[in-house]
Structure 1
Amino acid sequence: MLLLSRLESFTSEEARATATVLEDNPFLRPDGKLERVAYAEIMAQCFAAGAGASLLATGGSCAGWGYLAALRDVTVHTDAQVGQHLDVQVRVSARLGEIAVVDGKVHADGQLLATGQFKIFMPEESA
């Protein structure tokens, strides 16, 4: 399930992507608003896309690359709705062995919609 529209920029430590809330989004409620759980998935996809693109750019492989291990402090300030364009930003704030701690933000129309922190397990061969 791909929720991102485009990867805008990336390094091995941060990424920025856009996502448009479309009518066929599996997280869309009947009232046209995005389920709040979708923000965590959108931020995780942004990190995966950026880190994967960074690996590919340096000759690495993304096969079996990483797994979402935990979510923390995911806060939704307001709901996105169908048709909105989301700006997603993630940044690695710490690395603890094979775990990357990632902070994320989602904005739309200049307004902060959601923030959160998540941990990604990255096996040594792909870190």
Structure 2
Amino acid sequence: MALRVEEQEVIPGEVKVEEPGRCCPVCRKSFPGEPAAECRRYVEVRNITKGDCRLDNVEVGFCRGRCLSRTDVTLEEPYLQSLCECCSYRLDPVTPVRFLSLLCGSGQSEPVVLPVIHSCECTSCQGGDLSRR
């Protein structure tokens, strides 16, 4: 059985882009001078504190970057089109959280739960009219 890939037609004003985590390119409007979307996973060693309790040298992962967001007025319905994407995360499917014990000044321990971020990507987020907020 052969795998069939349909060629996507590029609409005028759009360009084919390859997105991380997708097997096939997608078409997006091109805006000259617009920065490219970049959402990446980073790892840092941090000290975790809660009140007088702490645990030093804990490796944590987090997402940081910029994604495409814009609002356009078009000449056809719908007259207002919004694209709002945020740099978001996927938890590790096998171990989504880590359980840690912080050491307190009193000699007690304080349990905390940290998310385990597997990957980061630009995903749709809420946008729109701010006048009602």
TM-score (structure 2 length as normaliser) = 0.23
Between structure 1 and structure 2, the one with the greater Rg is 2
Q: Which has the higher strand share?
A: 2
Question: Bigger relative contact order, structure 1 or 2, given CA contacts below 8 A and separation 6+?
Answer: 1
TM-score (structure 1 length as normaliser) = 0.24
